[in-house]
Amino acid sequence: MIEIRNLHKSFGSLQVLKGVDLTLEKGKVLVIIGPSGSGKTTLLRCLNLLEVPDQGTLELGGLSLSFGSKLKKESVLSLRQKTGMVFQSYNLFPHMTVMQNVMEGPVTVQKKDRAEARGRAIELLEKVGLAEKADAYPHQLSGGQQQRVGIARAMAMEPEVLLFDEPTSALDPELVGDVLKVMKQLAAEGRTMVVVTHEMKFAADVADKVIFMDGGYIVEEGPPQQVIGNPTSPRAVQFLKRIS
């Protein structure tokens, strides 16, 4: 589903990704871990071109992109349609109800029929346990509830890959579990997911593959038992000791 080769990204003179290679099969869950500033979020954002890589190639859901020269607008749009992003800070539209937030993309971007979009939004809100909040506004919800709306909104666009950027790190600890539960359920349904997180138990339980990043490189890669349970690089050992 995803194949990345030799991906590079700099911000000015700061080299953030220094040659990343990665593959992920359809229906699998990839968790990206590593210290702050190692390039995790930048790598994730490169997957839907919120950041445009400087060099390298990306294949996602059958679409191939090569970076270094100007991208075609259609390629960027098709890639975005194949991915759905869940942000750390939810990014819901504050002036729209929960239902309107979930329907917005399908109706305005995908030009779906309103009744159809509404039906699908109800299903998705049921899936994330928030059907009864359909008419509430984001500020009337807890952070955990807002994030679950964020997940329903990303899924409403029927992406092939769901991307999660530290989805629980802005939440009070008691609200984290409900969000992780929804994510676990999506993984069990066979969704292809890429998740940047510090939740090691989630990674150990749900990931098919974990990568540990440091300094713009993938330093370790493998199943969670290996990367989290038995890391070999001194940096990964030190990082995992610190956060456990």
Q: Contact positions toward ligand ADP, by CB under 6 A? A: 11, 14, 16, 34, 36-42
Beta strand 209-214 pairing with 217-222: antiparallel
Between residues 16 and 180, which has the closer beta carbon with respect to ligand ADP?
16
Between residues 34 and 231, which has the closer beta carbon with respect to ligand ADP?
34
Q: How many CB atoms lie within 10 A of CB 188?
A: 10
Q: Cα angle vertex 145, ends 197, 133, to 5°?
A: 155
Q: How many CB atoms lie within 10 A of CB 13?
A: 5
Between residues 14 and 115, which has the closer beta carbon with respect to ligand ADP?
14
Cα 165 from Cα 194, distance rounded (Å) = 9
Q: How far is the CB of 34 from ligand ADP (least distance, A)?
A: 6
Q: How far is the CB of 212 from ligand ADP (least distance, A)?
A: 11
Give one DSSP letter per residue of 186-198, joined into a string.
HHHTT-EEEEE-S
Q: How far is the CB of 41 from ligand ADP (least distance, A)?
A: 3
Between residues 165 and 178, which has the closer beta carbon with respect to ligand ADP?
165
Q: How far is the CB of 238 from ligand ADP (least distance, A)?
A: 16
